[in-house]
Structure 1
Amino acid sequence: MTRVANISLSRNVLLSNQRNLADTARLQQQLASGKRIQNMSDDPISGRRALIFRVQHFELGRYQENIAKTLSFQQSTDTVFSRMTEIADEAKSLALRGVNASEDAQSRAVLARSMDGLLDRMMDLGNTVHDGRYIFSGAAVLTQPFVRDADGAVRYQGDLDDFEVSISQTTRVAVNLNGHALFKQEVDVFAAISRIREALDDNDPQRVEELLDDLDALQRHLSGKQGELGSRIQRVELTRSQIDFALVNISELLSIEEDVDLAETISKLQVAETTLEAGLNAGARVLRPTLLDFL
């Protein structure tokens, strides 16, 4: 009976020390990683909650990334709008000079060539690329939106739909502007400048004066579209603030569920190490072989 009792005692000591060693290793791992939950079995309820929060955090991070790209795209577009407005203002200034009776055919021809330059610059802006995508080609972001036909007329070959992305679970926004609606639909931006150029080439100041209204309409049109873009940017920035706030909350909830309490874990580790050391010492005495073990 004594030998059987010794075997049973030895087994219990070994099992106890194995548990103590596992507890010590678990606490050391928690301190090293900063995470209380290493496996779902550590705390199934908190583990499930943490998993849900991590999924939500990932989704919010994806929306945050979409928002950053959207704002970068739209702010680039806003800069292009400002340059387009400058071109419209220059066109108006050249046209007013062309109306002046002191200008002759030769000087108006020079003004017409300047109008050609403005037209080229406007087309270049219409074909602006940001981050590898055309900003005015609608959903067909890889297609150059504006090309010249054989007769010199500017033709739109982009898409009529907007390029949209999700910036929250319930919100999709148009990242860019439809080039057809901006340049060709309400006001034909290129035609307005081209007609002024032709009138200057024809040395027809009366016709130039009649076309000044087109340039006024162009300026109002660009200002209105830039205002629409500004409203879109404000909407995206508001959503960004909401997403940022939600991310902070989710991070805090995730921390509550899975992060270690440093002071508490250090205290538990010290207790576990003391218990393990005591168990090993006791085990060494219990497991020490005697003469009877060999009889």
Structure 2
Amino acid sequence: MIGRVTQQGLQRASLNQLQTNLSELARLQERLTTGKVITKPSDDPAGTVDAMRLRSDQRTTAQHARNVADGDSWLTTVDSALGDALTQLRKARDLTVQGASTGSQGPSSRSALAGELRATADGLLEVANTTYLNRSVFAGTSTEAAYAVTDAGTVTYSGRPGAEVLRQVSDTTKVRVDSPGSEVFGVDVVDADGELVRDPATGEPVGMSVFTLLREVAAKVEAGDPDVGRFLTEIDSRMSAFLGEVGSVGTRHKQVLQAKDALETREIALTNQLSSVEDADLAKTIVDLQLQEVGYQAALGATSRVLQPSLLDFLR
């Protein structure tokens, strides 16, 4: 049985098709205006999930990049401080060698050498308290200065041994960005009164920081001790500790810089992936829009034939 087609049915069908064409035309115009294929989840649910995952990866990568930048600055500060410390310790070694030649020096010369050694010790103490963003780079996670001089003249260490300052530079990698001051500069071994603990047989401190070591050398030089050269072994040991830490910092700094390069590459890759999911092909969109405009104009022409004017329209 053939269904009856009425004028009203033709009008309704034509208007529905016209509305469909107009909606598609609006969608293409919006895509061309925004440059995006996905403007709301219903446009492409699967693509929306991919875009959300990629944006989450971008946020994580951006955080890692900030960590890398901060770690780079920390390690640069540590490396510079260790370089200064090595320069000053080499100077102190040269002064100690001069001080060992007591036979050719008078009291004034020895006093001048002792003054330079004490000044070098003070300079090293200042280096040991180097900070980055008001955080000591040699005190671990402590917020206080790494070293402080007590009333007794000894040096106390306020850092927390083993409490490392770490920066997450990737999903699986953390890098230490501080330096263990207690291992590099050493700490004074003191008794309950804050005095240096000394060997009863020799009178020498059983353990001391590099600052106290240089002050001990200065005191012996000033007193004309003929055996000042015995301190060279201890100074060389401290210098070896500095050199070892410089190597460790260099290795960690290289790791941070490699992570920086990897993150820059990943940022570009994620941006390209997100663009492939969200961004519209503008050339194709322009062609589709032009075709849709032609179709819409044709639909308007067809609709004008279906919606014929009535007698009342003529009378108006």
Matched, 1:168 2:152: no
- Contact 2:183/2:241 (<8 A) preserved: no
Matched, 1:110 2:112: yes
User: Cα 1:213–1:279, aligned 2, differ >3 Å: closer, same or farther?
Assistant: same
Unaligned runs of 5+ in 1: none
Q: Measure the CA separation in 2 of the matches of 1:64 and 1:187.
A: 40
- Contact 2:140/2:178 (<8 A) preserved: yes
Q: Which secondary structure state, in structure 2, belongs to the residue aligned with residue 176 of structure 1?
A: coil
Amino acid in the other structure paired with 1:237: L
- Contact 2:121/2:210 (<8 A) preserved: no
Q: How many residues align?
A: 290
- Contact 1:97/1:103 (<8 A) preserved: no
Superimposed CA distance per residue, residues 169-199 of structure 1 (whole angstroms, 9 cap, x where no aligned partner): 1112212112222222697322222221221
Percent of paired sites with the same residue: 29
Cα deviation for residue 28 of structure 1 reads: 2.9
Cα deviation for residue 122 of structure 1 reads: 1.1
Q: Measure the CA separation in 1 of the matches of 2:296 and 2:289.
A: 10
Q: Measure the CA separation in 2 of the matches of 1:48 and 1:238.
A: 31
User: Cα 1:28–1:104, aligned 2, differ >3 Å: closer, same or farther?
Assistant: farther
Amino acid in the other structure paired with 1:179: G
Q: Which secondary structure state, in structure 2, belongs to the residue aligned with residue 94 of structure 1?
A: helix
Matched, 1:54 2:55: yes
Q: Which secondary structure state, in structure 2, belongs to the residue aligned with residue 184 of structure 1?
A: coil
Q: Which secondary structure state, in structure 2, belongs to the residue aligned with residue 260 of structure 1?
A: coil
Superimposed CA distance per residue, residues 4-27 of structure 1 (whole angstroms, 9 cap, x where no aligned partner): 955554544444444333333332
Map of 1:108-257 to 2, 5 A cutoff?
Answer: 108-140=110-142, 142-160=143-161, 161-184=163-186, 188-204=209-225, 206-257=226-277
- Contact 2:129/2:136 (<8 A) preserved: yes
In structure 1, the partner of 2:199 is none
User: Cα 1:113–1:20, aligned 2, differ >3 Å: closer, same or farther?
Assistant: farther
Q: Which secondary structure state, in structure 2, belongs to the residue aligned with residue 165 of structure 1?
A: strand
Q: Measure the CA separation in 1 of the matches of 2:211 and 2:276.
A: 60
Cα deviation for residue 242 of structure 1 reads: 2.9
User: Cα 1:114–1:45, aligned 2, differ >3 Å: closer, same or farther?
Assistant: same
The match for 2:281 among 261, 272, 291 is 261
TM-score, normalised via structure 1 length: 0.87
Q: Measure the CA separation in 2 of the matches of 1:276 and 1:247.
A: 42
Q: Measure the CA separation in 2 of the matches of 1:251 and 1:265.
A: 21
Q: Measure the CA separation in 1 of the matches of 2:7 and 2:121.
A: 100
User: Cα 1:18–1:184, aligned 2, differ >3 Å: closer, same or farther?
Assistant: farther
TM-score, normalised via structure 2 length: 0.82
User: Cα 1:23–1:137, aligned 2, differ >3 Å: closer, same or farther?
Assistant: farther
Cα deviation for residue 277 of structure 1 reads: 4.1
CA RMSD in angstroms comes to 2.6
- Contact 1:64/1:240 (<8 A) preserved: yes
User: Cα 1:107–1:275, aligned 2, differ >3 Å: closer, same or farther?
Assistant: same
Q: Measure the CA separation in 2 of the matches of 1:9 and 1:187.
A: 102
Q: Which secondary structure state, in structure 1, belongs to the residue aligned with residue 104 of structure 2?
A: coil
- Contact 2:21/2:296 (<8 A) preserved: yes
Deviates further, 43-52 or 267-276: 267-276
User: Cα 1:57–1:292, aligned 2, differ >3 Å: closer, same or farther?
Assistant: same
Cα deviation for residue 102 of structure 1 reads: 1.9
Q: Which secondary structure state, in structure 2, belongs to the residue aligned with residue 173 of structure 1?
A: strand
Unaligned runs of 5+ in 2: 188-206
Cα deviation for residue 80 of structure 1 reads: 0.9
- Contact 2:122/2:211 (<8 A) preserved: no
- Flag the structure with higher helix content: 1
Cα deviation for residue 209 of structure 1 reads: 1.1
Q: Which secondary structure state, in structure 2, belongs to the residue aligned with residue 162 of structure 1?
A: coil
- Contact 1:67/1:167 (<8 A) preserved: yes
In structure 2, the partner of 1:37 is 38
